[in-house]
């Protein structure tokens, strides 16, 4: 991130220098006094500084936006992780319940059941 910001700063300085050289070449060369040269240099320095500050602000804003996006994505991943954990817990609970029911069924199958014998015998009913 710092490397990108430094690269952007170097690019801004290079572009500003190139702009200065081109604009200086376009102006007719007249003899300027030392005070005029100083004033012109001061003005160009102020303009260059303002341009650099504006670009630095834009870069900082872009960086801030990227950080917000990354944080938002990280938070959504936390939500996804929570949902996955809930799903795992429900699955484990369901498997435990199934195991319990299967064990109960196996225990019930192991028990021997006796059908009670009828104590009365089947005798034909005589009608009178």
Name the DSSP class of 33.
-
pTM given for the model? 0.36
- Show pLDDT as tens, one digit a residue, over the chain (128 residues): 667 778 777 777 877 776 766 665 555 667 889 999 999 999 999 999 999 999 999 999 999 999 999 888 877 777 788 888 999 999 999 999 999 999 998 888 888 776 667 666 556 556 65
d(CA 12, CA 19): 10
In degrees and rounded to multiples of 5, residue 125 shows phi and psi of: -85, 125
Burial status of residue 59 (CB atoms within 10 A of its CB: 0-12, 13-18, 19 or more): middle
Give the pLDDT confidence score for residue 123 in this predicted structure.
Answer: 60
d(CA 73, CA 16): 37
Nearest to 5 by CA among 65, 63, 66, 70: 63
């Amino acid at each position: 991130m710092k490397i990108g910001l430094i690269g952007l700063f170097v690019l801004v300085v290079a572009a500003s220098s190139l702009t200065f050289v081109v604009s200086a070449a376009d102006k007719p060369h007249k003899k300027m006094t030392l005070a005029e040269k100083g004033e012109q240099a001061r003005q160009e320095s102020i303009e260059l500084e303002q341009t650099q500050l504006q670009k630095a602000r834009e870069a900082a804003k872009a960086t801030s936006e990227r950080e917000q996006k990354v944080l938002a994505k990280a938070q959504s991943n936390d939500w996804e992780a929570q949902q996955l954990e809930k799903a795992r817990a429900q699955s484990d609970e369901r498997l435990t319940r199934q195991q319990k029911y299967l064990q109960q069924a196996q225990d019930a199958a192991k028990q021997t059941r006796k059908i009670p014998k009828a104590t009365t015998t089947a005798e034909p009913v005589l009608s009178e």
